[in-house]
Amino acid sequence: MTMARDEYIFLIILAVNLIVSVLYLAAGIVLMVPARASLADGNDEEILYDNRRTYVIRFIEMILCPVIVPLFFFMGHLFYLFVFWRDANLVDVVFSKDRVKTNLKADEEAERNIIPLEEALLVNEKKDLRSVFVNVMREDIRNSLASITLALDSEDSETSHYAAAVLSDELNKFRIFVQKQLTQVREKKDSDTEGEEILVDYMDSILKQHVFSDHEQRKYVNEMAEAAELLYEKDASRITLERYEAVCLRTLEMKDYGVAETWCRRMEEQYPDELSAYTCRLKLYFARQDREAFFQTLDALKKSDVVIDRETLELIRIFSTRRQ
C-alpha cells in the first residue's frame, strides 16, 4: 500500500514537472522571444535575450532532471530580479586610455637579437646600431637620454643625426615644461602640492642622466631644489624618501654642500630608520672630506637596526679596514 502511494506521488511530481516544463517552453517560444526581438528592433542599443534554442535546451534539462532544474531556474530568476533589477550607474566611471595598461606577449625572437645601445656603439655596426636605436625610439626615451647622448659621437652620420634630433627635442620639452610648471608653483598660494611633486619627480628623472652642460645642469638642480623647498614649506609629509634622496644627490653632484646637508638633515628627521638617510650623509661627508662626521655616521649605521644592502655593506667593510 505504501509503495503504491509513493509511486502515485512520484507520478504526480513527474506530471506537474512536465506541465511546468511545457508551459515554460511555450511561454518562452511564443511570448518571450518575439517580445524581446521586437524590443531589440525598436531600440538603437543592443539587447541581449535568450533565443528559442535556449528554451528548448532548458526544457530538455527540466524533463531529464525534474524538480531540481526547474527550482534552479526559478531561484536564478528571482536572484536576477532582486539583485540586478536596475542598470548600474556608470556616471562616476571614467574610461581613460592613460590608465589602461596593455600587457603584450613578448616577442622572443626579436628580444634575442636586441643588444644595449652602448654595446652597439662599441661594435659600431651600422645595421645593428640603427636597429637598436629604432627600438629605443619606440620605448619611453625619457630614461634613455644618457645612452642617446653617446650616439652623438657615432661614426654613422645617420645615427648621430637622429640622436641629435631626438635629444634636442626631448631637452626642449624639458625646458618648456619646467619653466611653465615652476612659474605656476611659484604663483600658487594654496596648499595643493601636486605641481611641486610632479616637478621634482620629472626633473630628477632627467637630471640624474647628466645630459645638460655643467652650467645648465646647475641651473636646473637649483630650480629642482627650489620646487622641493616649496613642497617642504607646504607639506613636508608629501616629500617621500625617494624625493629626499633625489634632491640630496643632485645638489651633492653640484658640490652645493650646504643645501645638500640641509636636505640630509631633513631626511634624517623624517625618515630616521631608513638606509638612504645614512648613505646620503655618508656621501656628503665623504665628498666634503669630513672624516669625523663620516665615521660617526658609519658607526651609527652599524649600531642601528637598519637593513643594509650589499653595496653599503661593502662600503662599511672597506672603510672599517682603512680606519684600523
pLDDT at residue 122, as a whole number = 45
Task: Delineate the domains of the chain, giving CATH numbers in brackets.
Answer: 2-83 (no CATH), 107-166 (no CATH), 188-324 (1.25.40.10)
| Predicted TM-score (pTM) of this structure | 0.58
Q: Higher-confidence residue: 233 or 10? A: 233
Q: Higher-confidence residue: 234 or 83? A: 234
Q: Which three cell numbers stand for residue 176?
A: 618648456
Report pLDDT digits (tens) over 202-255. Answer: 999 999 989 898 999 999 999 999 999 999 999 999 999 999 999 999 999 999
Single-letter code of the amino acid located at 162: Y
Q: What is the rounded average pLDDT of the residues 41-54? A: 66
What proportion of the chain, given as a percentage, has pLDDT over 70? 73
pLDDT at residue 319, as a whole number = 75
Q: Higher-confidence residue: 296 or 311? A: 296
Report pLDDT digits (tens) over 116-125. Answer: 544 444 445 5
